[in-house]
Amino acid sequence: ELKVEQNPLFLSMQEGKNYTIYCNYSTTSDRLYWYRQDPGKSLESLFVLLSNGAVKQEGRLMASLDTKARLSTLHITAAVHDLSATYFCAVATSMDSNYQLIWGAGTKLIIKP
């Protein structure tokens, strides 16, 4: 059974600091997704990581994937208040031709001015 663990689950940080959110998963997968959710809102896709060593960047966010270590990271550079949200990683599983995403519990990020 594929399990996805995120840590930390809660992070409070000051503006201007750097930090990393980790996403570990338990079995082989070649696709990993990062999403953002604002309070009371739906989910917004941030990154799609499809291969070992994949790195994608958008503004102050950078995501990477190490399929051998079964680890993805979401790095925040020089955080700003607008990045406060809950961030989810999701890993694709395609057993028996059925495609599903298995979701981490989310990391609630609060960035203080």
Contact 33, 49 (CB under 8 A): yes
Cβ proximity to another protein: between 18 and 27 the closer is 27
Backbone angles phi, psi at 110, to 5 degrees: -120, 125
DSSP string, 73-105: EEEE-S--GGG-EEEEEEEEE-GGG--EEEE--
Minimal distance in Å, beta carbon 48 to another protein? 5
The tokens of 44 are what? 């917004």
Nearer to another protein, 19 or 103 (CB): 103
**Least gap, CB of 17 to another protein (angstroms):** 24
* Minimal distance, residue 78 CB to another protein, in Å: 26
Q: How many angstroms separate the CA atoms of 90 and 92, rounded?
A: 7
Residues forming the site for another protein (CB under 8 A): 31, 33, 35, 41-45, 48, 50, 88, 90, 92, 94, 98-101, 103-106, 108
Q: Are strands 10-14 and 107-112 parallel, antiparallel or unpaired?
A: parallel
Q: Which is nearer to another protein, 14 or 94 (CB)?
A: 94
Residue 97, phi then psi, degrees to nearest 5:
65, 10
CB of 16 to another protein, least distance (A): 27
Residue placing its CB nearer to another protein in the complex, 52 or 94: 94
